[in-house]
Amino acid sequence: MKNNLPDVKFLYPEDPGPGILARCNPMEPFAEETITWLHALSLVLKRDPETRGHPDVATFAFFCRRANLLQLKKKYYPGSSLRLGRGLVFHITPKNVPVTFAWSLLCGMLAGNANIVKVPSEISARADILCRAISDLGKVSAFRPVSSRQVLVRYAHENPATAFFSSMCDVRMIWGGDATIGEIRKNILPPRAFDVTFASRYSLCVIHAGSFMTNPSPGKVAAGFYNDTYLSAQEACTSPHLVAWLGSDNEVAAARSVFWDHVYKIVKSRYHLQPHAAVDKLTTFCLQAAQSDGIKKTVMPDNLVWRTELKSLPEDIDRYRCGGGYFSECRIHVLSDLSATINGKYQTLSYFGIEKEELENFITRGRPGGIDNIIPIGRSLEFSLIRDGYNLVDTLSREITVT
């Protein structure tokens, strides 16, 4: 395989040999050997001193614990159906969130598949830690049966390797922007293969102002919001860009003041704003101001937190998505005020101070065109095997019927 792809760097294994994955039969979801391998990967990562410097890598390692995987098995594959993996999954993962490649690999493995993963072409310490741990496991003979089902590669975006790997896979998972997905889809798949795409998405946060003002720990809520946004430089699809406030004018005014004061103090102490992000914020605001009616920039001590106040909520607010701490704000009277704005691009709604029943009614009665995930503030970056409306264990495996 390596000789046919001279511009591809094989991160694991260094030389997979011709047709190595062609011999990999599908496995049952949550197979014992897969769980054992992932638990061993967790231990290797925990022992690596570099892991402690990267919370997202540490989170991945914690997720891969045997106890957690067995709980997931009970939830997603209780044994009520007969399933096997679809075969070979080809993963194309994004550069803006480097650890995504490991999460994508995890999904393919848990569903019972062999995997070829395109690791982001840009070098990152996070990706290197994960690739090194996977390579170390491959040297242990007891783990070789599972290790031999995984291939990690790195190559430039325009490399013809995408066409080669696409031609042999059963599922192609594409993480990227709309334009990236369009380009990759030009590469033909086998007749029964299909794409699972994670395209450009937009997320929002809804805060009940009255509940926030009576909460005894406003700093904790602000810290959760910081984790949802600034830990990923607001690049994650789940990171909110729109903040909607529920409540009266007086409640909202008071809550906004307290909330953003706490957020700013956390950002000031923890976050380093990149110069390009500062330019992006200004550019986005100028564009938004030129094309929207009645918006204004809320005064803040500096550029770390940029707040744009909306007089009304435009249907195209998702066009003004910007990273590094850029937030549009609006006041709403009831959750259904959001229904006309939320379209298929919306992914996650994070919230504070709203009852679960009210959120469920918003979905069943308001029937918004988007929103796949509703989760409390502070938990939007948590990984789930249900992503963008896909149950990934079901999607990446096939059900066999016996009558």
Q: Are residues 282 and 134 part of one domain? A: no
Q: Are residues 183 and 55 part of one domain? A: yes
Q: Are residues 173 and 43 part of one domain? A: yes
Q: What is d(CA 263, CA 255) in angstroms, rounded to the nearest whole number?
A: 12
Q: Are residues 180 and 212 part of one domain? A: no
Beta strand 306-310 with 390-391 is: unpaired
For the stretch 351-393, pLDDT in tens is 999 999 999 999 999 899 899 999 999 999 889 999 988 999 9
Whole domain around residue 10: which residue ranges?
2-200+388-399
> What integer pLDDT is reported at residue 18 of this predicted model?
65
pLDDT higher than threshold 80 for residue 164: yes
Q: Are residues 88 and 154 part of one domain? A: yes
Q: What is d(CA 272, CA 164) in angstroms, rounded to the nearest whole number?
A: 40
The strand order across the sheet containing 88-92 reads 9-12, 150-154, 114-118, 88-92, 171-175, 194-198
Indicate the number of domains in the chain.
2
Side-chain-side CA neighbours of residue 185 (13 Å): 14
> What integer pLDDT is reported at residue 188 of this predicted model?
95
pLDDT higher than threshold 70 for residue 23: no
Side-chain-side CA neighbours of residue 217 (13 Å): 5
Q: Are residues 194 and 227 part of one domain? A: no
Counting residues of the chain whose pLDDT is more than 70, the rounded percentage is 97
For the stretch 64-91, pLDDT in tens is 999 999 999 999 998 888 999 999 999 9
pLDDT higher than threshold 80 for residue 4: no
Q: Are residues 248 and 155 part of one domain? A: no
Lowest mean pLDDT among 5-19, 57-71, 123-137: 5-19
> What integer pLDDT is reported at residue 1 of this predicted model?
57
Q: Give the domain CATH number at 79.
A: 3.40.605.10
* Residue 382 located in a structural domain: no
Calculate mean pLDDT across residues 13-23: 70
> What integer pLDDT is reported at residue 200 of this predicted model?
85
Q: Are residues 171 and 317 part of one domain? A: no
* Residue 227 located in a structural domain: yes
Question: Is the bond preceding 13 in cis, omega lying within 30 degrees of 0?
Answer: yes
* Residue 27 located in a structural domain: yes
Calculate mean pLDDT across residues 54-71: 95
* Residue 328 located in a structural domain: yes
For the stretch 309-327, pLDDT in tens is 998 888 889 999 999 999 9
Where do runs of H (alpha helix) occur along 90-138? 100-110, 125-138
* Exposure b/e, 22-56, CB count within 10 A at least 16 = b: eebebbbbbbeebbebbbbbbebbbebeebeebeb
> What integer pLDDT is reported at residue 116 of this predicted model?
95
Query: Hey, is 208 helix, strand or coil?
Result: strand
Calculate mean pLDDT across residues 198-227: 94
* Residue 235 located in a structural domain: yes
Query: Hey, is 54 helix, strand or coil?
Result: coil
* Residue 47 located in a structural domain: yes
Query: Hey, is 246 helix, strand or coil?
Result: strand
pTM to 2 decimal places:
0.89
The closest alpha carbon to 90, from 143, 15, 150, belongs to 150
> What integer pLDDT is reported at residue 6 of this predicted model?
75
* Residue 251 located in a structural domain: yes
> What integer pLDDT is reported at residue 16 of this predicted model?
76
Q: Give the domain CATH number at 369.
A: 3.40.309.10
- Mean residue pLDDT of the chain comes to 92
Counting residues of the chain whose pLDDT is more than 90, the rounded percentage is 77
The closest alpha carbon to 131, from 34, 45, 68, 203, belongs to 45
Q: What is d(CA 24, CA 36) in angstroms, rounded to the nearest whole number?
A: 18
Q: Are residues 127 and 51 part of one domain? A: yes
Q: Which residues touch 271 (CB under 8 Å, ≥6 apart)?
A: 226, 230, 304, 325
Q: Are residues 161 and 41 part of one domain? A: yes
Q: Bridge-partner residues for 374, per DSSP?
A: 349
Q: Are residues 222 and 170 part of one domain? A: no
Q: Are residues 226 and 77 part of one domain? A: no
* Residue 240 located in a structural domain: yes
